[in-house]
Amino acid sequence: MIVVPDVLITGFALGLVLLVVSLTTNLGRRARAGLSAAWVVVVLVLDVSGLEDSRIAAATPSPGSPYTERMDGFVTSDACQACHPNQHASWDESYHRKMTQLPSDESVLAPFGGELLSYQYKYIPHRRGDDFWVTTTDPTWAEPGEELPVSRRIALTTGSHHQQLYWFERPGTRAVGRFQFFYRVREERWVPFNAALLVGERNLPEPGIYWSTVCVRCHATHGKPGFELPDPGAAPMDTRVAEFGIACESCHGPGEEHVRANRSLFRRYRGYFSSEPDDTIVNPSRLDADRSLDVCGQCHAVQGLGSTARIRQWSRNGLPYRAGDDLSEARYIVDGRPGKSDNVFHDRVLRQDPHFIEDRFWPDGVVNVSGREYQGVRDSPCYASGEYTCLSCHQLHRATDDPRSTPEWANDQLASDRLGNDACVECHPALAEPAALEEHSHHAANSTGSSCYNCHMPNTAYGLLNATRSHFIENPDTATELATGRPNACNLCHLDQTLAWTADKLEAWYGTPVPVFEDPAHSTTAQGVLVALRGDAGQRALMAFHLGWEPARLASGADDWALPVLGELFLDPYDAVRAIAARALQQRPDARDMNFDYLETPPSRRALRNRLIEAWSGPEAGDPELRARVLIDGAGQTMAKEFAVLLDERDNGRAFRAE
């Protein structure tokens, strides 16, 4: 929409009033001239001040919260709307915009209705007028000498798609503390912080100062933490940002010069009739592949600042990276591949956190956690073409001819013509023909087995109680699974088949060498059962997801045999595994009306699981080999002994995903 500044309307209205006055009264020429001059002066003054204020407004800072400030050429997304209404509107509906928000009736998704949350301590989220508060007996929320319970006002929210987190004000500093409960959006419930992560730790973390020291780097635009080293929490912080959320200037660079230049009517219209890009702003789709990838990679990469000097500079001046720059000059991009850890950055990081690499990468360096797709894209063979970037598939502004609703587009921001194989056949046109596709995939052309994504970008990254697609484009290979533990794409659909079966198929179809299977279970037991029962928590989470994933359920007939496996996953010691298993159980036709609360006590969950198993009977007839693979006997019952053996072999080692 064209914005007509209120000040101009006011000015013209004043002028009309003066005109009527001068015409209806017996004013002399001098008086009329004076009135006219006065009107011109008033309008000019209002225009100059009003135009500036109406275009670029700073939020009113709240005393105990990070605040917004105009700085360093950032003018906020408000300045973009007048000329780019469509882009602004789709961004406004995106989860990028909502990554950090000030609390309001619109932004806060949790009820804050005075419900009591108990986990080690008591927490009561509630309202006071327009504000959102939490009252708690948690001593980590209290200042020295402050008596419990304490009440704190919510200052910020994080997230809005799958879950939302809240941050409370602290007296005397702008470093907000973290409320240790997530609000899960789909489930419409509060869950303790660790119950929304893949982590074995049971105790709630302390509120900390993470928004200012970690989150601000990616969840806001041009943030400046305002802490001092070596101890960021020792002194009050002055955390400020150009804009909350991931706004226009995160991807397009500071807009001040662009706004100023394009106030000129002539410049704008000259640009409409020219194919030359506007050099006062960055358009990531016009950058070369490296720089385009870097725009997304500034947040969607496993990375660090790399040095104390950089951290200090970031804290005071914000991150130096601007869209269009070489990201590697401002950040250290972590390489998780073996043998790549012998450098100063890794030494420092691994001294502080010995598990840094394994919490983010599979052993071969492929990212294992969602939201860090940069390395996968960069290391993919497709990237070598020089034309493959995030924007090959993702569309950060919904197209005007996109038939989907805005929420559908916002879900993953894939372009409407990138939902199927279209993204890939652009560079692999031979596979556009159904016959050629079938010959390549050995699956029906219109089946999920012929989806490029399912074979070459399987869901092997964990995040947000979910599995997401790995962005490292690779061919399925059972040898890789043996070496790294990362499930191969074939068995993530064919959960009922063994690893050896997959290896034989890959060898017959593509000449992929068959590895040596030293473990006989790889030749006798379905991979969906094997990994679910004896994998580590990360693997179990992925398998729980796929046991409820429709393409896999249909391909493997999991609804017939998988209940015992899901039942075990519902008793898993990791909250995240149980959460995903509960969702998979809910998908089953025989369990849709049941309530699988993954946070119920172990006896309750066990009782529910037992009821389910007692009522269930697996396939008695049909393929005896299938029953043997999925550990179901001739009577349609679970082969309890074999189950127990696999459970005994479970990898109960530490597992964590650094989301």
Residues of this chain that interact with other proteins (CB under 8 A) are 1-2, 19, 23, 82-86, 89, 268-269, 272, 400
Question: Which residue, 403 or 602, has its beta carbon nearer to other proteins?
Answer: 403
Question: Which residue, 106 or 401, has its beta carbon nearer to other proteins?
Answer: 401
**How big is the CA angle at 242 (ends 240 and 243), to the nearest 5 degrees?**
100
CA 50 to CA 91: how far, in whole Å? 26
**Residues 492 and 459 sit within 8 Å (Cβ to Cβ):** yes
CA 104 to CA 130: how far, in whole Å? 7
Q: How far is CA 296 from CA 299, 372, 490, 570, in A?
A: 6, 10, 30, 36
Helix extents (H) in 318-431: 344-352, 374-379, 406-412, 422-425
Angle of helix 527-534 relative to helix 537-547, nearest 10 degrees?
Answer: 140
Question: Which residue, 82 or 142, has its beta carbon nearer to other proteins?
Answer: 82
Question: Which residue, 84 or 310, has its beta carbon nearer to other proteins?
Answer: 84
CA 38 to CA 449: how far, in whole Å? 76
Question: Which residue, 269 or 510, has its beta carbon nearer to other proteins?
Answer: 269
| Least separation in angstroms between CB 87 and other proteins | 8
Q: How far is CA 53 from CA 47, 452, 573, in A?
A: 10, 50, 55
**Site of tokens 């932004």:** 107
Question: Which residue, 264 or 385, has its beta carbon nearer to other proteins?
Answer: 264
How many Cβ atoms are within 10 Å of 41's Cβ, its own excluded? Answer: 10
User: For residue 514, which of 503, 528, 525 has the smallest C-alpha distance?
Assistant: 503
Q: How far is CA 161 from CA 93, 185, 209, 411, 621, in A?
A: 11, 7, 23, 8, 44
How many Cβ atoms are within 10 Å of 47's Cβ, its own excluded? Answer: 15
| Least separation in angstroms between CB 204 and other proteins | 43
| Least separation in angstroms between CB 37 and other proteins | 16
Question: Which residue, 265 or 516, has its beta carbon nearer to other proteins?
Answer: 265
Question: Which residue, 260 or 442, has its beta carbon nearer to other proteins?
Answer: 260
